[in-house]
C-alpha cells in the first residue's frame, strides 16, 4: 500500500507542477507564484466546502433511519465493521445506478447512492458498493480526489486564460502555443487525474471487499452497475464531468473523450481481481451476509 500512496503523491505533485508551469508561461515567476497561490486557495476552499458542493451538484438529499431504514442500517453496520464514524447518508434521484463518497476526513464524510442503484441491486450487492465507498473514506481518498478535481479544473481555466492573453509572455510560440496550452494542459491534467483515480479504485475494491466480507458481492454489483451506466444517462455528471472520478463506475458515456481518458480501471480487470480475491478466501458463492 505504501508504494501506491507514493505513486499517488508523485502524481499530485506532477499536477501541481503543471499548474505552476502554466502560470510561469503566462506571467513569468510572478505568474507562477500567483498560479500556485490560486491553487492553494482553491484547495483550501475544496477542503472545507467541496463535499456540500458536490452533493448539491448531483441533487443529493440526506436520509436517516426513519426515511431510508434499510440503507441507513446497512451503512451503520458496515461503518462499525470498518471501524469508522457513521457517515452522513444521501440518496440521489437519478435513474443511473451509481454511488460515490465525499468529505474531507472520516469524521466529516458522506456516502451517496442513486435511486437507480437502490432499485437495481440486491441487498448483498448494495452492501458491496457501500463497503467500497467506506473504503474510500477509510483511505482518505475523498479529500485526495477532490484536490485533483480542483487542480484539473484550475489547469483547464489557465489554459483558457493562455488563449485569451495570446499565449503569455514566456511562450515563444505565441498564439499557436496558446492554442496548444489550451488543448494539451487539460489533457495532461486528465491523464494524471485518471492515474490517481484508477490507483485508488483498485485499493477501494480490495478494502471494501474485506469490510463486507465477500468480494463476489462487489464483483456482481460492478457488473450490473457498469451495464446500467452504459445504458442510462447521468445528466448531472455530464454537466459536471470533473466529478466523474468520484463515482464507483464511470457515469459518463456521451463523449468520445470519456473513453480515452476514463477515470476508472477496465471493469473486466476489477471484476477479475475481486474473483481472484474470493478464491483466495475460499468463497465460491455470494452467500447472504448480516448487513441489514
**Got the DSSP string for 46-100?**
HHHHHHHHHHHHTTEEEE-TTTSHHHHHHHHHHHHHTT-PPPEEEEE--SS--EE
| β-pair partners for 90 | 62, 112
- Give residue 35's pLDDT: 72
CB distance 122 to 284 below 8 Å = no
Q: Which of 8-22, 156-170, 194-208, 230-244 has the highest mean pLDDT?
A: 230-244
User: Which residue from 167, 164, 153 is spatially nearest to 26, judged by alpha carbons?
Assistant: 167
Half-sphere exposure of 266 (CA within 13 A, CB side): 5
Q: Which of 59-68, 141-150, 152-161, 278-287 has the highest mean pLDDT?
A: 59-68
Instruction: Choose the catalytic residue: 125, 133, 201, 203.
Output: 133
Q: pLDDT-derived band of residue 199, with 50, 70 and 90 as boundaries?
A: confident
- Under DSSP, the state recorded for 213 is S
Please report, for residues 260, 261, 270, the alpha-carbon distance to residue 34 in angstroms, rounded to integers and kept in the order given.
Answer: 32, 29, 41
Question: Which DSSP string corresponds to 262-279?
Answer: -SS--HHHHHHHHHHHHH
Catalytic residue status for 238? no
- Give residue 195's pLDDT: 60
- Give residue 145's pLDDT: 74
For the stretch 206-225, pLDDT in tens is 999 999 999 999 999 999 99
Tell me if residue 104 falls in helix, strand or coil. Answer: strand
CB distance 58 to 112 below 8 Å = yes
Q: So where are the chain's domains?
A: 2-280
User: What is the enclosing helix (H) or strand (E) of 179?
Assistant: helix 174-212
CB distance 128 to 78 below 8 Å = no
Sign of the Cα torsion 41, 47, 49, 53 reads positive
- Stronger pLDDT, 212 or 27, i.e. the higher one: 212
Average pLDDT of the segment spanning 17-37: 72
Q: Give the whole-angstrom CA distance, residue 95 versus residue 99.
A: 12
Q: What angle do CA 199, 203, 207 make, to 5 degrees?
A: 170
User: What is the enclosing helix (H) or strand (E) of 223?
Assistant: helix 215-231
This prediction has a pTM of 0.78
Q: At what angle do helices 123-138 and 69-81 cross, to 10 degrees?
A: 50
| β-pair partners for 92 | 60, 114
Amino acid at each position: 500500500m505504501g508504494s501506491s500512496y507514493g505513486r499517488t503523491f508523485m502524481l499530485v505533485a506532477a499536477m501541481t507542477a503543471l499548474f505552476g508551469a502554466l502560470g510561469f508561461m503566462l506571467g513569468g515567476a510572478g505568474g507562477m507564484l500567483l498560479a500556485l497561490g490560486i491553487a492553494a486557495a482553491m484547495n483550501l476552499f475544496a477542503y472545507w466546502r467541496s463535499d456540500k458542493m458536490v452533493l448539491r451538484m448531483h441533487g443529493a438529499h440526506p436520509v436517516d433511519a426513519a426515511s431510508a431504514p434499510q440503507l441507513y442500517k446497512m451503512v451503520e453496520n458496515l461503518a462499525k465493521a470498518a471501524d469508522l464514524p457513521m457517515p452522513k447518508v444521501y440518496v440521489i434521484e437519478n435513474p443511473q445506478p451509481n454511488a460515490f463518497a465525499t468529505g474531507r476526513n472520516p469524521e466529516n464524510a458522506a456516502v451517496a447512492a442513486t435511486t437507480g442503484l437502490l432499485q437495481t441491486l440486491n441487498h448483498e450487492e448494495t452492501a458491496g458498493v457501500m463497503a467500497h465507498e467506506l473504503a474510500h473514506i477509510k483511505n482518505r481518498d475523498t479529500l485526495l480526489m477532490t484536490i485533483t478535481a480542483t487542480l484539473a479544473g484550475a489547469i483547464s481555466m489557465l489554459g483558457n486564460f493562455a488563449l485569451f492573453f495570446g499565449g503569455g509572455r514566456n511562450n515563444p510560440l505565441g498564439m499557436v502555443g496558446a492554442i496548444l496550452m489550451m488543448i494539451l494542459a487539460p489533457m495532461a491534467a486528465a491523464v494524471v487525474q485518471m492515474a490517481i483515480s484508477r490507483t485508488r479504485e483498485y485499493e477501494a475494491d480490495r478494502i471494501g471487499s474485506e469490510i463486507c466480507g465477500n468480494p463476489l458481492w462487489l464483483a456482481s454489483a460492478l457488473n450490473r452497475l457498469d451495464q446500467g451506466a452504459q445504458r442510462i444517462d447521468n445528466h448531472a455528471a455530464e454537466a459536471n464531468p470533473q466529478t466523474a472520478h468520484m463515482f464507483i463506475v464511470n457515469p459518463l458515456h456521451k463523449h468520445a473523450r470519456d473513453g480515452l481518458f476514463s477515470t476508472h480501471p477496465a471493469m473486466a480487470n476489477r471484476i477479475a481481481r475481486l474473483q481472484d480475491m474470493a478464491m483466495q478466501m475460499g468463497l465460491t458463492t455470494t452467500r447472504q451476509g448480516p448487513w441489514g
